Amino acid sequence: MDKLGRELGHLENIEVSSGSSLKSLITFIKSSLKEISPWNNIKTLHTNIRADILAGITVAIIALPLALAFGEMSQLGPVAGIWGAIAGGVVGGLFGGCLVGVSGPTAPKAAQIAAFMGVFVIGTTTDPDLVAAFSIIFLSGLILVGISMLKISRFIHYTPYSVVAGFMCGIGVIVILTQVNAFVGLEAEKNIHGVFENIGHTIQNINVEALYVAIPSLLILFLWVPLEKKVKFLANIPSPLVALIVGTGISYFMKLDIPYIGDKMGGAGEGEIFNFYIPDLTRIGEFMGPAMALAGLAVLDSLLSCIVADNMTGTHHSSDRETFGQGMANMAAGLFGGVTTATATMRTVANIKFGGKTPLASIVHGLTLLTILLGLGFLVAAIPTACLAAILFKVGIDILDYRILPVLKKLPITDLLVFIIVLFVTVYEDLMVAMAIGVVFAFFRFVQEVSSTYQHKTIPLSKSDFAPKGQNKKELDKLPVSVLQPQGPLFFGSIEPLMSAYAAAPKHEMLIVDMSHVTMIDLSGAYALEDLIKEAIGKNIQVFVSNANPHIKEVLEKVDFIEHIGKDHYMDSKRSVIPFILEHYHLEELKFTNKKNIDNNIPILHKLHTAINKHDFKAVMELYADDAILVPAFSNKTRQGKNEIETFYKDIFDKDGVKISIYQVACQEVNGLKIDTGMYLMRWMAHGIREEEYLRFTLVVKDGKIVSDNSSIEPNFSSLINSNNLPFAYAKDFEE
């Protein structure tokens, strides 16, 4: 019976556990569905209609040449690039997690799909297998939806910056090199190996007429920024559009014999604008690897763009909803014959600058491109491919990470090694393999550096080393000042916790970043901290970075951290920061008799007298300087004043070698009132720095009770004797 009871009890526990697990699973699914719901986007569509429509149309004009160029680069055809932009704009905007994000083909995604096009061909021919390509794009969308449901997309933020930089520089090199042939009027190579293998053939067969289009187009793209500074209205005209118009105009009027987009309109369906592709799921095993690579790249590319948008708008995107939106957009692109999509940084930034605030701008952008494709297809066909090559040349140059390139020689050796490996593997092998290798290398550094867990935190001023001495803790806590304390190694794995710790800080006007607890910092940590500080400064928050040890400061100097945030925002020690706090909040002269600090009409100074007389060390520290260690004042070396004034020195508190000294200058009685006039000298060591203050006081006592207390602090002896409000005579009779 006992055995049967135990078995029944075990089964009951299993049932309870199963019920709890099922409940947790249902809760998780509900939470996921709520997170990816497009309702948050739909309910904002009416809030900024006019500006969103104008922004959407403008961004569509900017996106048109890029979509055509990325379509050409992907080897799916220019029209496929436009369909990708349409799917990204409409579907990605409706379901995405960044309100101002604009999706479409990007250079990394186009380069990745181009690599696959060299593998998937029809039979023994060299013709690309379009069904395979669009099936992979559709499947990558399904994978993205799954990632969003599992809520794991946010882990992409743990990718080290050296990996991202090497990856982006590698993409830039790929974009530039693969367009060399198109730039000189030849058929573009399918991969980077073909570029190097056929470089001799390319040089011997240059089509000079193509250079008539390519070179002027490229010059326009490079000279547009200087021209914008001289002619302000040019800033409202996108340079790729100007290059597209000029290049097409040259080829049309000169009747050049060069390749045109119209020659390749069949790349997406033999000259037809619209095609529908049914995914071939019978080959899912063959497509799974490339689809996962596309999905991973989509998450990385999209969320990096979302972070840029967050920094510009002061908002925060939903990583999981953005991933879901990209999944839906890529499924649509796969069905309609479009290039794989991701949130595009250039288009997102343009959308923000032109006033876009809701997904309506992205949707309008997609619909505008659809109108152009359906109504102006003949104009698209007349664009020379050399012009698109020039645009892609400029895109490739812009993709290079100019944040890391100037400090490449100064990087920590592990960051430099990861950067170089990822760069070369990206160019010569595979984009996602490069990412994987880079993350593995960075992980080994993580294991080496991190031996325990550190928790970043924000603390009030009163609990930090930056609290001005002698202040009341409650009053300091009311000041709008936050102290951010990064702990331990500050690297790619600790960036997200640092951002979360700062995000949880109360509203403040001044931020002090205390670097004294940071043991190591890498490129990702330095740049993340730099971005955090720049964002705070952009919100008119006064920021100071201080207390970094010499090794940390050396790294910050090598990556130009101090120069980027401004030298006025970096202080070597807390002693340099405290004067700014005192000046900003008018704390130069402190009164112990502040009405807010009076309890039962007993002034703070009287409480201090009482605590000293009782040898209550804890009370003294709480009332005066609870983070200081008090040590004896200077020796009993005084000079007698006038005969009617009693002058003496006394050590009135001595416990465990801790002393407070008092100079009492006068004890007089006038009409029944006892008047004590004098000063305390307190001198102590705090964090290796000698501190001291002179507290002058005048106490008027009647019948054993204080009826008047006039007290204040002077920062040094010279200030004390030069004060116009001395409560006692003959102060100059005292000297060290």
pLDDT tens digits, 365-385: 999 999 988 887 778 788 898
Q: In the listed set 393, 408, 442, which residue is the last one of a domain according to the structure?
A: 442
Give the count of domains, the chain: 4
pLDDT score recorded for residue 446: 65
**Do the Cβ atoms of 484 and 503 come closer than 8 Å?**
no
The band of 488, judged by pLDDT with boundaries at 50, 70 and 90, is: confident
Q: How far is the C-alpha of 166 from the C-alpha of 392, rounded, in Å?
A: 19
Residues 484 and 623 in one domain: no
Residue 589, domain member (yes or no) = no
Residues recorded for the chain: 736
Strand duo 689-702 + 673-686: pairing: antiparallel
Identity at 335, one-letter amino acid code: L
Question: Which residues make beta-bridge pairs with 513?
Answer: 484, 545
Question: Which residues make beta-bridge pairs with 673?
Answer: 670
Residues 392 and 508 in one domain: no
Does residue 515 have a pLDDT over 80? yes
- Report the pLDDT averaged over residues 321-326: 94
Residues 696 and 575 in one domain: no
The band of 214, judged by pLDDT with boundaries at 50, 70 and 90, is: very high
pLDDT score recorded for residue 609: 55
> Coil, helix or strand for 520?
strand
pLDDT score recorded for residue 202: 87
The Cα-based distances of 668 to 130, 437, 678, 724, 730 in angstroms read 104, 83, 12, 22, 15
Residue 450, domain member (yes or no) = no
- Copy the structure tokens of residue 178: 């693969």
Q: How far is the C-alpha of 682 from the C-alpha of 631, rounded, in Å?
A: 8
**Residue in the structure block whose two tokens are 């989509």:** 298
Does residue 269 have a pLDDT over 50? no
- Report the pLDDT averaged over residues 691-719: 55
**Do the Cβ atoms of 604 and 623 come closer than 8 Å?**
yes
pLDDT score recorded for residue 52: 93
Q: How far is the C-alpha of 213 from the C-alpha of 245, rounded, in Å?
A: 11
Lowest model confidence (mean pLDDT) among 255-269, 410-424, 660-674? 660-674
Does residue 102 have a pLDDT over 90? yes
Residue 447, domain member (yes or no) = no
* Residue 188 DSSP symbol: P
- Report the pLDDT averaged over residues 208-226: 93
Task: Give the percent of the chain with pLDDT over 70.
Answer: 71
Residue 448, domain member (yes or no) = no
> Coil, helix or strand for 477?
helix
- Copy the structure tokens of residue 170: 């590698």
CB atoms within 10 A of CB 718: 9
Lowest model confidence (mean pLDDT) among 75-89, 410-424, 531-545, 662-676? 662-676
- Copy the structure tokens of residue 136: 């992979």
Higher-scoring residue by pLDDT: 438, 622: 438
pLDDT score recorded for residue 600: 35
Residue 299, domain member (yes or no) = yes
Task: Give the percent of the chain with pLDDT over 90.
Answer: 22
**Do the Cβ atoms of 502 and 537 come closer than 8 Å?**
no
pLDDT score recorded for residue 641: 32
pLDDT score recorded for residue 710: 55
Q: How far is the C-alpha of 696 from the C-alpha of 590, rounded, in Å?
A: 12
Residues 479 and 467 in one domain: yes
Question: Which residues make beta-bridge pairs with 692?
Answer: 683
Q: How far is the C-alpha of 338 from the C-alpha of 303, rounded, in Å?
A: 21
Among 557, 507, 510, 551, smallest CA distance to 533 is for 510
| pLDDT (tens digit per residue) in 10-21 | 444 444 445 556
| pLDDT (tens digit per residue) in 246-262 | 999 999 999 999 998 77
pLDDT score recorded for residue 3: 45
Residues 78 and 124 in one domain: yes
Higher-scoring residue by pLDDT: 572, 295: 295
Residues 563 and 704 in one domain: no
Does residue 639 have a pLDDT over 60? no
Identity at 97, one-letter amino acid code: G
Highest average pLDDT, of 304-308, 498-502, 562-566, comes from: 562-566
Residues 467 and 555 in one domain: yes
pLDDT score recorded for residue 678: 60
> Coil, helix or strand for 45?
coil
Residues 234 and 151 in one domain: yes
Does residue 553 have a pLDDT over 50? yes
| pLDDT (tens digit per residue) in 579-627 | 788 777 776 433 333 333 333 334 445 555 556 555 554 555 455 443 3
Residues 26 and 71 in one domain: no
Q: In the listed set 442, 474, 503, which residue is the last one of a domain according to the structure?
A: 442
Q: How far is the C-alpha of 136 from the C-alpha of 290, rounded, in Å?
A: 7
Range of the domain at 18: 1-36
Q: How far is the C-alpha of 364 from the C-alpha of 255, rounded, in Å?
A: 35
Q: How far is the C-alpha of 129 from the C-alpha of 137, rounded, in Å?
A: 13
Residue 464, domain member (yes or no) = yes
**Do the Cβ atoms of 168 and 320 come closer than 8 Å?**
no
Lowest model confidence (mean pLDDT) among 260-274, 396-410, 501-515? 260-274
Higher-scoring residue by pLDDT: 148, 478: 148
Highest average pLDDT, of 281-285, 330-334, 645-649, comes from: 330-334
- Report the pLDDT averaged over residues 336-353: 89
Lowest model confidence (mean pLDDT) among 303-307, 655-659, 726-730? 726-730
- Report the pLDDT averaged over residues 650-657: 37
Residues 558 and 614 in one domain: no
Residue 376, domain member (yes or no) = yes
Lowest model confidence (mean pLDDT) among 132-136, 226-230, 719-723? 719-723
Residues 385 and 517 in one domain: no
Q: In the listed set 533, 552, 584, which residue is the last one of a domain according to the structure?
A: 584
Residues 240 and 258 in one domain: yes
Question: Which residues make beta-bridge pairs with 700?
Answer: 675, 708
The band of 95, judged by pLDDT with boundaries at 50, 70 and 90, is: very high
The band of 638, judged by pLDDT with boundaries at 50, 70 and 90, is: very low
The Cα-based distances of 434 to 157, 397, 420, 426 in angstroms read 17, 20, 10, 5
Higher-scoring residue by pLDDT: 400, 686: 400
CATH number at residue 485: 3.30.750.24
Q: How far is the C-alpha of 82 from the C-alpha of 77, rounded, in Å?
A: 9
Mean pLDDT of the chain: 75
**Do the Cβ atoms of 76 and 117 come closer than 8 Å?**
yes
Residue 185, domain member (yes or no) = yes
